[in-house]
């Protein structure tokens, strides 16, 4: 859980200047991820965050300008984390279809291990709409690029548009919510396999 919440999180003049400060800030960030993930933005309180972090209320403002600013920073950081993790996971594939399967399986596994992340990104729709939008637009773009590559290598058919990427993303997100966050009755592998079946041949008879 404790991790390098990096660059984009600093707000110009509030960077810690000593090791002690750095440590405190990190404690606050980790605590905030938990608090927001558990209670949601509005139910979460600065008091709750500082309590979890084991610091005084006032220390929060040594490192952050406001509750919103912190949330926003957190969203951007989590979006980046999802991206990084996904990128690292799609290795060892010979077929573009196979790669999509791995992407979904990795996503589902990550979602299970970091349920707070998804809660926070989802709530960004209301608290920080711009970041929410960016998150999904960028994710869709990445998928779209893979689709084009797939077409180029002959694994995918032609005529695939950006909207296809949105469709695939929606599929993945909802499967992640239902079988990653809400319950774990099916394994990431099973779900990925099944979704891949749709991409491979659809659901119509014949084909």
DSSP state of 7: G
Query: Which DSSP symbol is given to 59?
Result: G
Which DSSP string do the residues of 117-153 spell out, in sequence order?
HHHHHHHHHHH-HHHHHHHHHHHHHHHHHHHHHHHHT
Nearer to a second copy by Cβ, of 17 and 205: the residue is 205
182 binds, among a second copy, DNA, none (CB under 5 to 8 A by kind): a second copy
Per-residue H/E/C for 92-122: CCCCHHHHHHHHHHHHHHHHHHCHHHHHHHH
Instruction: Please identify, using beta-carbon distances, which residue of 80 and 97 lies nearer to a second copy.
Output: 97
Residue 63: other Cβ atoms inside 10 A = 22
> Between 68 and 113, whose beta carbon lies closer to DNA?
68
Query: Residue 44 contacts by C-beta under 8 Å, 6 or more apart in sequence?
Result: 32, 35, 36, 38
**Using CB distances below 5 to 8 A depending on partner kind, what does residue 88 bind out of DNA, a second copy, none?**
none
The partner in contact with residue 130, picked from a second copy, DNA, none with C-beta cut-offs of 5 to 8 angstroms by kind, is: none
* Contacts for 159-162: CB closer than 8 Å, 24+ residues apart: none
Q: Which does 120 bind (CB under 5 to 8 A by kind): a second copy, DNA, none?
A: none
C-beta of 78 vs 173, nearer to a second copy = 173
- Quickly count: other Cβ atoms within 10 Å of residue 150's Cβ: 19
The option from DNA, a second copy, none interacting with 200 (CB < 5 to 8 A, set by class) reads a second copy
What is the distance, to the nearest Å, from the Cα of residue 101 to the centroid of all Cα atoms in its chain? Answer: 17
Q: Which residues bind a second copy (CB under 8 A)?
A: 40-42, 97, 122-123, 125-126, 133, 136, 140, 147, 150, 154-157, 160-161, 163-164, 166-175, 178-179, 182, 186, 191, 194-195, 198-205, 207
Residue nearer to a second copy on the CB measure, 54 or 170? 170
- CB of 53 or CB of 191, closer to a second copy: 191
Four-CA torsion 168, 174, 180, 183, nearest 10 degrees: -150
Binding site for DNA (CB under 7 A): 16-24, 43-47, 55-62, 66-68
Interaction partner, residue 8 (a second copy, DNA, none; CB < 5-8 Å by kind) = none
Q: What is the nearest approach in angstroms of a second copy to the Cβ of residue 152?
A: 11
What's the full length of the chain, in residues? 207
């Amino acid at each position: 859980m404790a991790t390098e919440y990096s660059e984009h999180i600093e707000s110009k003049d509030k960077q810690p200047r000593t090791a002690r400060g750095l440590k405190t800030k990190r404690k606050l960030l980790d605590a905030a991820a938990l608090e927001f993930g558990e209670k949601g933005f509005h139910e979460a309180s600065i008091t709750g965050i500082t309590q979890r972090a084991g610091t005084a209320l006032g220390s929060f403002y040594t490192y952050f300008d406001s509750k919103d600013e912190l949330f926003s920073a957190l969203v951007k950081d989590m979006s980046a984390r999802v991206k990084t993790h996904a990128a690292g996971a799609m290795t060892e594939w010979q077929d573009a279809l196979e790669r999509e399967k791995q992407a979904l399986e990795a996503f589902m596994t990550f979602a299970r291990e970091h349920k707070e992340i998804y809660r926070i990104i989802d709530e960004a729709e209301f608290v920080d709409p711009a970041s929410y939008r960016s998150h999904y637009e960028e994710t869709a773009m990445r998928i779209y690029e893979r689709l084009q590559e797939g077409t180029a290598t002959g694994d995918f058919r032609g005529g695939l548009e950006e909207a296809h990427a949105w469709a695939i993303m929606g599929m993945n997100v909802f499967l992640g919510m239902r079988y990653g966050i809400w319950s774990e009755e099916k394994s990431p592998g099973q779900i990925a396999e099944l979704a891949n079946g749709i991409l491979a041949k659809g659901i119509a008879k014949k084909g």
